[in-house]
Amino acid sequence: MKSIQRYIRLLLSTDQDSLFLSVLRSFEKLVSKLLAICLMVVVFVAVFDLFKVLVIELRGEPFGFFNRTLIEIFGLFLNILIALELLENITVYLKDNVIQVELVIVTAMIAVARKIIIFDFSKYEGLDLLALGFAILCLATSFWMIKRLNVNIKH
Side-chain half-sphere exposure of 5, counting CA atoms within 13 A: 2
Q: Is the pLDDT of residue 41 over 80?
A: yes
Q: Give the C-alpha separation, 70 to 116, whole Å.
A: 14
The helix (run of H) or strand (run of E) holding residue 59 is helix 17-59
Q: Would you place residue 40 in the very low, low, confident or very high pLDDT band (cuts 50, 70, 90)?
A: very high
**Of residues 49 and 70, which shows the higher confidence score?**
49
CB atoms within 10 A of CB 128: 14
pTM for this entry:
0.72
Q: Give the C-alpha separation, 133 to 126, whole Å.
A: 10
Q: Which distant-in-sequence residues (6+ apart) come within 8 Å of 76 by Cβ? A: 46, 49, 50, 53
Q: Would you place residue 63 in the very low, low, confident or very high pLDDT band (cuts 50, 70, 90)?
A: low
Q: Is the pLDDT of residue 66 over 70?
A: no
